[in-house]
Amino acid sequence: MKIAVQGEKGCFHEVAARHYFHNENIEILPCSSFDLTIGAVVNGLSDFAIMAIENARSGSILYNYTLIRESGMKIAGEIKLRIKQNLMALPGQKISDIKQIRSHPIALAQCMNFLNNYPEITLVESDDTAGSARIISENRLKKIATIASMNAAQIYGLEILAEGIETYKKNYTRFLVVGSEDKVNLTGNKASVCFATSHKPGSLAAVLVKLAEMNINLSKIQSVPRLNGDWEYMFYTDLELPGDIDVEKTRAVLEEITNNLEILGIYSKDDTLYES
């Protein structure tokens, strides 16, 4: 089974994929962007894709909501991963030897309390955490470090100079597992739904009232611009369904009070918090 991920070998997306598919023999297909990641599924190059959708500190990745909806793919599941950031470099060096740290801008931002202790070190943004680890390893770059997963250090033979340097220890990222509808089992107690509402006072409130009346827990709501020039928004929601309410009943109710309703996925809620 092939799983497409954004990033190179050793990235956090790969760690999430291996946790989610721990009972499967999987092959990781690295992709340089989220567009290529979901495109790999659309074009049959991979069976599923793993895509980050939100971080506990930095919020939602709005672009990925639109990518999933426009691709026609469905959400098969979710996984929450604690993002543990580690400073690493070629073996035999100390932090005092490091002149530059290269990593993804989000990884750098998540570690600023630690990095502020070393103002003499230059911070350089890169496309990928694991990719930076690979470049340092392949080119034997001394005095240059990166921030990446423990898995990346093991793959590329780097030495951990400082472990767990993220500012917030409850630094979790939620990933979605995405696949074509014929490979996704659309059953479970959680549904991801998107819709638009009319430009009338109380339109969104009416939706929230209906969900409350059905005892459906709205665990997430996110507005994303429709980019049509009319200042309209799509609302992406995660609904936790009680045992006596199925998604078809929910769809029927929402269709009466929303526009462009679409079920992006039905899957099992996962409260497990995995370690990276």
Lowest mean pLDDT among 21-25, 195-199, 209-213: 195-199
Q: Are strands 2-6 and 100-103 parallel, antiparallel or unpaired?
A: unpaired
219, 240 Cβ separation under 8 angstroms: yes
| Band of residue 229 on the pLDDT scale cut at 50, 70, 90 | low
**Phi-psi map region of 173: left, alpha, beta (phi>0 left; psi -120 to 50 alpha):** beta
What is the reported pLDDT for 179?
Answer: 97
11, 130 Cβ separation under 8 angstroms: yes
Q: Which residues are catalytic?
A: 173, 175
**Phi-psi map region of 154: left, alpha, beta (phi>0 left; psi -120 to 50 alpha):** alpha
pLDDT digits (tens, 9 = 90+) for 137-191: 999 999 999 999 999 999 999 999 999 999 999 999 999 999 999 999 888 999 9
Report how far residue 251's alpha carbon sits from residue 261's, in angstroms, rounded to the nearest whole number.
Answer: 8
Alpha helices, H only, 21-61: 34-42
Question: What average pLDDT does the chain have?
Answer: 94
pTM for this structure?
0.91
| Band of residue 243 on the pLDDT scale cut at 50, 70, 90 | confident
Lowest mean pLDDT among 113-117, 236-240, 246-250: 246-250
pLDDT digits (tens, 9 = 90+) for 35-89: 999 999 999 999 999 999 998 888 899 899 999 999 999 999 999 999 999 999 9
Inform me whether the pLDDT recorded for 226 exceeds 80. Answer: no
Domains of the chain: 2-82+171-184 (3.40.190.10), 86-162 (3.40.190.10), 190-267 (3.30.70.260)
CA 271 to chain centre: 16
Report how far residue 176's alpha carbon sits from residue 224's, in angstroms, rounded to the nearest whole number.
Answer: 18
